[in-house]
Structure 1
C-alpha cells in the first residue's frame, strides 16, 4: 500500500476524541458583559494573511489517487466555509510529478481561497519555491518531525541542514513561511531559536491528536517503538512554553482540537489561529462533505457565543481571558519555572 494511503487509513483508525490537556484549562467567569452579538469580529491575521475566522484546515494528505479524493473534498469544504487550508507534505510530488494533481486539485476546486503548501525542513529553499509555484500557494508550512522520521521505517536520520534550509527559504520566498511541528509540541528553547532565525509564525502543534510515532510504529514489522506513541508536549503545554515570545512571533496551535471550545481555549492561550486535522478528517470520512461544512458553520456560531460570553469583541482580545491552569499542565509549568498564576489575574 502507498505510504500516504497507509497514513490516511491509520489516522482514521486511530482517531479518538479523548481527554487531553485542554480539559485542564478553565475560565474565570465575569458576570457583566458590555457587548452585543453585532460587535463580535472573528477575523485574525497570520504573517500578513487575513483569515475570516481563527481556525483552518491543517496539513493532512496528498501523494496518491486516494488522497487526491480527500484533498478535493477538503478543498470543497474550505471553499464553502471560507477556511484557509494547508496541504499535506508536497515532497511526494517533487519526487514523482505524476502525483502532483493530488495537491493541485485543491487550487482547482478553490481558486480564490487561502492555500498553504507544506514540506519538511529537510527540503531546500529551491524545493520550497517549486512547491509554492506548483500550488500557487499563499504561504508555506515547513514542518518539523524528528520523532516521526526516526520511527518511520524509511525515515531520515540526518537533520544537520534543517536550520539552514529554513533560513534560506525565508530569504528566497516572497510568501509567508510558517514553521510547524507535526504533533510533538514545542519547548521554549525551540521557539526562541525559530524566532532568532526570523520565522514570522510558529505552529506549536502539540501531542493530543494524531500521533505520527504511533502511525509509523504501526507500519513497522515489529512494533518495538510503541513507547514513543505519546512522545512530546501537549498543545496546551507548548502554548504555555511559548508565552515569553508571544510579542515576537505569531503563535498558532494545533493538535488535539476536538471542538469550538478547544479552539477558544487555544486562542485564549495566545494562538492567533488554530489548525485542525484529525477531527475534520474523521468527520469527512465518516459523515461526508455536507456534515463537515455544517460542523464548521456550527463552530463559527459557537465561537461567536464564546467571544460574547467572555466580553471579547475580537480575537486579539480573547488572548486576555483569565485562565485557570490545573492538572498535568500546571505540574509541568511548576517544574519548568513557568508562572501560570499571572494568566488567572491578567
Structure 2
C-alpha cells in the first residue's frame, strides 16, 4: 500500500491538538500533503468555500451562458483501460474499481469565474492550476464523533422513475453496498460503535447540462481515544478515500495505476478544514485542471463485474459539467 508517513501528517496532529484552525490537501497517491493555517491561505493562492467556512467574498457575478465543449476520447481508447479493469474484476482481484479519465475541454470562463459562479457543497480554487466543485463529503468530525457519506451511483434526473431505477439497479446497488462496507471497515480503524445511519439517500445535483440524482449513505462512529484531536493520524489511516479507489484498496490501486494512462494528481484526493474543534472534509472530484494552457476535466465512476461498457462511458461523460445555473 502507499507510504503514508509524510511529515505533514504530524504537523496536522500538532495543530489539531493545539486547536489551531488549518486547511489541508492530500493528493490521490498520498505523496503531496499540504497544510495551511488560516493566515497563509491567500498568500498561497487558495480560495475555499466550504459549508461552514469560506475565505472569499461571494461575488454577485452576472450569470453567463456557459459554453462548455468536451473533446471526448474515443470509445476504443476508453475501452483499453476498461477491459483491463474488467479482467481483474472477473478474476476476483477487485470487487469495485473506480476508473477515471482525463478529457480536454474548452469553456468560456476562467478557473476563477468557475469558482465564483459554481454552486456546490465544496469549492476550491488553487492558484491558476485547478478548480473543483465537489458534492461529496469525505469525513466530518463533530464532538469526537466521525461521519462519512459515500456517494456512489448517479442517473439522469430527467428519466422517468429515475429514483426507483437508480435504487433498484443491480449494478449500482452492488457498487453502493461495496463502498458502504469498505468505508464502514475503514472507520472501524479509528472509531468504535460504527454504524450505518442512512442507506441509499438520493441527492439532487443541478448542472448546466442535465440534472442528476446521486445516491449516498451515512456511516458514523465514536473516535477511539488515541485518535481524538489527531487529524493527521486519522487521515493517515483512512487515505486514499475508498469511494474513489475501490475494494480491496491495495490490489485495486495497482489495477488503477495500470488501467489509467495519466496522473490523477490532486483529483480524487481529499482536502479539509479544521476549525479548531471540528473537521469538515471532501473528496476532490468534479475537477478541472490547467496543463500547458489547456484545460482538462477529470471524471469517472465505479466499475463492477456487472458494469455495462456503454453506461460507464456515458457516466464519465455525464460528470463533465459545471454547476452554474
If the length of structure 1 is used for normalisation, what is the TM-score?
0.24
Structure 1 or 2: more helix by fraction? 1
Between the two structures, name the one with larger relative contact order (CA 8 Å, sep ≥ 6). 2
Structure 1 or 2: more strand by fraction? 2
